[in-house]
Amino acid sequence: MSYYKLLPLVKKTGSQLSPKEFQKRINIVFHDYEADHYDKLHCDMKESLQEQINLLVDDLFISKIETLNNLCLLDIGAGTGLSTQMLLNTKLGFQIENITLLDTSINMLKYAEEKAKKWQKKYSIINSDISSLSDSFDIIMICSVLHHIPELDKFLSQVDSLLKPGGILIHLQDPNGDYLEDKIYINRIEQYNKELNSLSKKKTIKQIIPKNWKHFINRLIGRKTYIDLVNNQLLKEKVIKRRMSADEIWSVTDIRVESKLNKEEIGISFKFLKQHFRNYKLISHRSYCFFGFLKSTLTVEYVQKENNLIKKKELNGRNISCIWVKK
Ligand SMILES: C[S@@+](CC[C@H](N)C(=O)[O-])C[C@H]1O[C@@H](n2cnc3c(N)ncnc32)[C@H](O)[C@@H]1O
């Protein structure tokens, strides 16, 4: 992806930085502020994420790939440590001895370290991006991160250089690039929206909104509250001269997520990954969020439908998740 697409926004905000520096700094400042709210705002995500990580690890064990003990894990974009926590909850967790938590946001890592202290494993915290690493690892976890990466090609090559032969790569929780325009997927979303509309005519809003929808709505509202703080910081650092809207900030940070301002190069394409990981064995390719939302926000009937689609290993949901082994 070319940073060039950010040029109109760079100009609009009066920034003197190059589009690359602009993206890098906004991404860090945004996540530094998001860190204080992250676990609370994403608690609805936990259930679906844990299920997906469990499924990927089960797929690995079913494939009879030999996993050794004393594994070294690298969590790229570790955030508050949620993704590592969930991997440790799986049967692969027992085999992990050493954990490296890497993130460009120092504030995210502050929360991750609080969790890491309780894991009873050796851990190190690195506040940087992938280019600063030179060790090699047995497992690399990339959860909810690929959609923040502008130069995906370069990033994946760096990931590859850090994974040992026979090493395991897990990535998930990113928009599913090959299927966002898929007719069946779009029909499902329309069907679910119709269902919600018809329910809303019969019931009060409190009855139709599943409990966890509140978390989803709070997440959107919550994310907006710190946009002001992000703007204040960016102005103070002279990254920008004029304030940015929430949508503008997200178009920079969530650079591969569909939005009003972001319509090109959206999502992570499996076709692209497969080309990139030619020297990897694909253990499993999965999808979820078949109705456009996480399971925890769906109505009871649709949770059942989502479960059936996950069970059938359909690939056309909103999110992509994969596990690979390097040959
Ligand atoms: C949506 S959070 C995901 C956190 C965690 N993996 C999880 O699943 O809960 C994305 C994280 O990636 C980090 N991040 C974004 N770009 C990064 C980069 N280029 N290198 C390392 N970390 C990055 C952000 O600071 C943030 O903590």
User: SS3 letters for 95-108?
Assistant: HEEEEEEEECCHHH
Ligand 1, atom 19, residue with closest C-alpha: 129
Q: How many domains would you assign to the chain?
A: 1
DSSP 268: B
Structural domain contains residue 28? no
- Taking all residues of the chain, what is their mean pLDDT, rounded to a whole number? 91
| Banded model confidence at residue 200, pLDDT cuts 50, 70, 90 | low
Percent of the chain residues topping a pLDDT of 90: 77
Beta strand 122-127 with 137-143 is unpaired
pLDDT for the residue numbered 210: 56
The answer to the question of residue 63 being in a domain is yes
SS3 of 143, please? strand
Residue 226 resides in a domain? no
The 8-class DSSP code of residue 90 comes to S
146 Cα–ligand 1 center, Å: 8
Give pLDDT, residue 5. 86
Distance 104 CA to ligand 1 centre (A): 7
Contact at 8 Å (CB) between 102 and 134?
Answer: no
pTM: 0.93
Q: Is residue 245 part of a domain?
A: no
- The verdict on residue 221 lying in a domain is no
Q: How far apart are CA 152 and CA 1, in angstroms?
A: 7
What is the pairing mode between strands 137-143 and 163-175? parallel
- For residue 109, the CA-to-ligand 1 centroid distance in Å is 10
- Cα distance between residue 281 and residue 317, in whole Å: 23
Q: Is residue 150 part of a domain?
A: yes
- Residue ID of nearest Cα to ligand 1 atom 14: 77
Residue for token pair 């990981």 = 277
Alpha helices by DSSP H, the chain: 7-12, 19-34, 38-41, 45-62, 82-88, 106-116, 152-162, 183-202, 205-208, 213-225, 227-236, 246-253, 270-276, 300-311
Instruction: Yes or no: say if 93 and 87 are a contact pair by the CB < 8 Å rule.
Output: yes
Q: Which domain holds residue 163?
A: 39-180+267-326
> What's residue 197's pLDDT?
83
Question: What is the CB < 6 Å shell around ligand 1?
Answer: 27, 31, 76-79, 82-83, 102-105, 108, 129-130, 143-145, 148-149
Assign residue 280 the CATH number of its domain.
3.40.50.150
Closest C-alpha residue for ligand 1 atom 4? 79
Cα 137 to chain centroid distance, Å, stands at: 21
Does the residue 20 lie in any domain? no
Reported as a pLDDT band with limits 50, 70 and 90, residue 71 is very high
148 within domain boundaries? yes
pLDDT digits (tens, 9 = 90+) for 99-114: 999 999 999 999 999 9
